[in-house]
Amino acid sequence: MNQKILAIQEIYREGKERLERAGILEAELDAWYLLEHVTGISKASYYGNPAREIRRQEKEQYFYYIEERKKRIPLQHLTGEQGFMGLVFCVNRHVLIPRQDTEILVETALERMKPGMQILDMCTGSGCILLSLLKLCKAEGVTGTGTDISKEALRVAVSNAERLGIRAKFVQGDLFENIGSQKIFDMIVSNPPYIPTAVIDGLQEEVKLYDPYVALDGREDGLFFYRRIVKESISYIKRDGCLLFEIGCEQAEAVAGLMEKAGYKDIRVKKDLAGLDRVVYGMYNGE
């Protein structure tokens, strides 16, 4: 590219076109977010002076990111963050990038929070679910534990807790493996891996190539982790405690069935903004 072109609007246009030519779906948005990330310039300030020049170093950095994005590396892996529930979470290739659909799970859980509750977030990843619950709940004295099989993911969760100034406990282990043996939880939330193995290959490349495989793979029918979590949950959840899952849009009936069989009642399904089943939850009715 011509070394003389340093006006920010030219750079933005070039970035956008390179992404469009590479078939990146949201080329314009991604080109903008990368520009903002590199230069720190806000939209208002950009439109105030689109002819302003930016430093060569920033330009080089910008086109480096554009080239990385062309390889389908997710935008959030380049900027290192993702907004979720109005908070900013650090992410990297070891955690699933927080999705807007998951906000439905958090909102449903928030409506059910009471003072003094103990919450468990199973498969916490970046910690986005647990940390949003702890940050946004109005009830006093709520405490939370997050668990994940991935040490690298937990490192991200711990740093998110520190950055957001939230106290939470994080435990590494295979599901309930290291959670202790008491029935102390009033609420268990989880967005476990739920994509059937055979479906993963057909997903968009950003997900298939760069989201951690262990965070996606729900084995043969996608229900592997729901079966285990539902079954094992009854040793950890209190009577009248609430179990809430994010689900794949075709899994509501199956997951509700598993919960009913294990002793959950008042099982409900909630839809996401696209009108698809997204959350299943119910109360534990046993001892």
Residues in contact with ligand GLN by the rule CB under 6 A: 96, 98, 102, 123-126, 128-129, 191-193, 215
* Smallest gap from residue 99 Cβ to ligand GLN (A): 7
Q: Two tokens at 80?
A: 């290192």
Residue 150 Cβ vs ligand GLN, minimum distance, rounded to whole Å? 8
127 alpha-carbon distance from chain centroid: 8
Among 184, 219, 237, residue whose Cα is nearest residue 262 = 237
HSE (side-chain half, CA atoms, 13 Å) at 227: 7
- Strands of the chain, DSSP E: 81-84, 87-90, 118-122, 143-148, 169-172, 185-190, 237-246, 264-271, 277-284
230/205 Cα distance (integer angstroms): 31
Q: Identify which of residues 5 and 249 has a Cβ nearer to ligand GLN in the complex.
A: 249
- Residue of minimal CB distance from ligand GLN? 125
Closer by beta carbon to ligand GLN, 18 or else 94: 94
Tell me whether residue 98 or residue 282 sits nearer to ligand GLN (CB atom): 98
For the chain, the residue count is: 287
Which residue, 96 or 258, has its beta carbon nearer to ligand GLN?
A: 96
**Smallest distance from ligand GLN to CB 266, Å:** 24
Inter-CA distances, 88 with 202, 207, 245, Å: 29, 20, 22
CA distance 271 to 266: 16
Residue 97 near residue 123 (C-beta atoms within 8 A)? no
Q: Which is nearer to ligand GLN, 39 or 190 (CB)?
A: 190
Q: How far is the CB of 193 from ligand GLN (least distance, A)?
A: 5
From the CB of 10, what's the least distance to ligand GLN, in Å?
37
Query: Nearer Cβ to ligand GLN, position 118 or 126?
Result: 126
* CB-CB contact of 222 with 200 (8 Å): no
- Cβ nearer to ligand GLN, comparing 22 with 149: 149
Strands 169-172 and 143-148: parallel
Cα 202 from Cα 254, distance rounded (Å): 23
Rounded to the nearest whole angstrom, what is the least distance from the CB of residue 175 to ligand GLN in the complex?
12
Give me the least distance between CB of 286 and ligand GLN, in Å please: 26
**Helices (H) then strands (E): counts for the chain:** 13, 9
